[in-house]
């Protein structure tokens, strides 16, 4: 009779251990994923904070260049009109 009880308890213990290990793996994976996401978001925020001044500078310079482009286009138009008037004289 003891020969049947010990193997049955051994199988039961293995099954319980397997279940507990699966649960622990799931919890560990969840914790690691959560921590990884947290660190990733923190790193991304640091990168954004570090590049914000440069981004603002680039945006400001682009706006200045756009304004200059408009002014140059207007000047070229006026120049063409004046040239046409002079040539018609």
The predicted pLDDT at position 1 comes to 56
Continuous segment of H or E residues that includes residue 70: helix 2-88
Residue 2 has pLDDT above 70, yes or no: no
Tens of pLDDT, residue by residue over 21-43, are 999 999 999 999 999 999 999 99
**């063409």: which residue's tokens?**
80
Better-predicted residue by pLDDT, 14 or 2? 14
For residue 21 the two structure tokens come to 């290990």
CA-to-CA distance for 58 and 85, rounded, in angstroms? 40
């Amino acid at each position: 009779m003891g020969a049947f009880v010990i193997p049955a308890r051994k199988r039961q213990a293995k099954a319980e251990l397997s279940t507990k290990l699966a649960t622990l793996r799931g919890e560990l994976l969840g914790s690691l994923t959560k921590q990884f996401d947290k660190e990733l978001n923190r790193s991304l925020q640091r990168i954004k904070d570090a590049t914000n001044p440069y981004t603002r500078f680039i945006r400001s310079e682009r706006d200045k260049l756009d304004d200059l482009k408009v002014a140059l286009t207007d000047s070229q138009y006026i120049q063409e009109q004046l040239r046409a008037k002079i040539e018609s004289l």
